[in-house]
Amino acid sequence: MLTLKKKTAEALAAAVGSCFPAVTLTADEIAAMLEYPPDANMGDLALPCFKLSRVLRAAPPQIAAALAGAFSCTEIARTEVAGGYLNFFIDRTAFSARVINTIRAEGDMYGSPRTGNGKTVVLDYSSPNVAKPFHIGHLGTTVIGHSLKLLHEFAGYHCIGINHLGDWGTQFGKLIVAYRKWGSREAVESGEIDELVRLYVRFHAEAEQDESLGDAARAEFAKLEAHDEENIALWKWFIEISLREYQKTYAMLGITFDSYNGESFYTDKMPRQLDVMREKNLLTLDDGASVVNLDEYNMPVCLILKRDGSTLYPTRDIAAAVYRKETYDFDKCIYVTSAGQSLHFAQWFKVIELMGYEWADRLVHVPYGTVSINGAKLATRTGNVVLLKDLFAQAVEKARAITLEKNPGIENPDEIAEAVGVGAIVFHYLANNRMRDINFVLEDALSFDGNTGPYAQYTYARTASILEKAGECGEMKSYAMEEAEVALCKTLATFPETINAALAEYEPSCVTRYILELCAAFNRFYHDCQIITCTDETARAARIAMTNAVHTVLGRALGLICMKTTEKI
């Protein structure tokens, strides 16, 4: 529809110049005013002339009538004046042929805005805390972040995916104390991250009764910071165990990272940034702590150093941002974290600006809503979590049972079950705006009925089956098209706009909603129109071409939200 909008706007700009020679309006200005009517009977595009009334100094109905008389565009069959609106009705065959032929020519790159060519984007996402389980609270940053990476790659950007591991802090002092008191190497080697979590949960339970455990944990972390050999060895072991577990989940989601540099990587890079802050006279003392005062910007002070001189999250994030700019020379650096951290990012982004780094405006925080389980807040220390590996296992098992029930002799049932089961969870999460808080109900996430991931994957598999039976893909030629065919072509035409919106808003759910629209349009088309059995050879060839276009676009769209496709279900 972007091409249709462009052509219509160009023709309207010429009409404005003809009817109102004293006024100049560009095609881009007019394109921004065009709307999609709520009902197809009202047209395929509409220009609300109220927006032009002040500029053209005429009543909206007069403007609409004048422009209708001077308008000419090859893809618009007719215009209609309705009050202050000028409605446009497409030439169905010309429009549909252009859309389908464009998809056929561009293939998997159809819809790419190509705005990122020659540019680099760094994306910081997932970033679990080491030695803690990968639970549904991590699903948001992981799938939103990776979807944004895929969207930017699709737009032509060179993308660097960074997993900024939480691999430093007092939690390691707690784990070291717990391991020495209640753990063993054999138990950890056997239970891996589950055993580390058990020790961590027990530490907090015991610490409620014994305050000395907190002091012991701080002492062990201090030894770790001082590079005590034994503590460093334990720390590295805990990281190794954690990464091994995380990789299993990433593999199921098809996710890889370019860097796993966590917080610890930046410990030797902070002093240089502290020197810059001192040179800029940004640091002041507040009850012994070093802070940057942000009163002028309506924000609390940004804490940089504790009273004992130890660093905090802002210090490490600032050092990391500078390192990434110097290493990757990014055009944009995106951070995908919970909305609860919005103030934290606003503060240190401002500090980066005050330090004199001119690229501060290229730092982007992409927040998302919280996740709860049946209304209860997630908390590793109390054990109130749903582990992703358990959730995925349940979904995969359910998908496998359904698949074998419907198609007992299907090849690669385990591969299909994983694609469908994991896809169901991902789609369920990305179905809503990222800022929406989610109350996670297991039964809903595992539902395969209605507007779900399995429904979308099944629709994709249906297109694959039709194409396999049809053989060679046909071409679009002029014939009397059914309403369902036109509606399908119009939906296919909106994919480029969907991608633009998802990129502009950092919103993968734009793609998820589009997938449901495309599936609905295709399934109506499939119900209303004969495809392979159609006796009209021109219509048959066109419908096979449309099915091929859906296969291409739907496959690409599913891939952009971290979902795998399967040709058969």
Q: Which residues are catalytic?
A: 132, 135, 138
In DSSP notation, 201-269 reads: HHHHHHHTT-THHHHHHHHHHHHHHTT-HHHHHHHHHHHHHHHHHHHHHHHHHT---SB---GGGGTTT
> What is the spatial distance between Cα 378 and Cα 384, in angstroms, rounded to a whole number?
5
Q: Are strands 158-162 and 283-286 parallel, antiparallel or unpaired?
A: unpaired
Q: Are 106 and 328 in contact (CB under 8 A)?
A: no
Name the 3-class secondary structure at 32: coil
Q: Which of 58, 63, 38 is nearest to 48 (CA)?
A: 63
165 phi/psi in degrees, rounded to 5: -60, 140
Q: How many residues does the chain have?
A: 569
> What is the spatial distance between Cα 481 and Cα 484, in angstroms, rounded to a whole number?
8
90: Cα separation from own chain's centroid: 33
333: buried, middle or exposed (CB in 10 Å: 19+, 13-18, 0-12)?
buried
> What is the spatial distance between Cα 54 and Cα 120, in angstroms, rounded to a whole number?
42
Ramachandran assignment for 164, one of left (phi > 0), alpha (psi -120 to 50 degrees), beta (any other): beta
Residue 270: CB atoms within 10 Å: 18
Name the 3-class secondary structure at 38: coil
Instruction: Tell me the HSE value of 408 on the side-chain side, using a 13 A CA sphere.
Output: 0
Cβ-Cβ contacts under 8 Å for 292 (sequence gap 6 or more): 277, 282, 283, 284, 301, 302, 304, 347, 351, 354
356 phi/psi in degrees, rounded to 5: 100, 10
Express the helix, strand and coil content of the chain in percent, nearest 5 each.
Answer: 60, 10, 30
| DSSP state for residue 167 in the 8-state scheme | -
> What is the spatial distance between Cα 551 and Cα 354, in angstroms, rounded to a whole number?
50
Q: Are 136 and 153 in contact (CB under 8 A)?
A: no
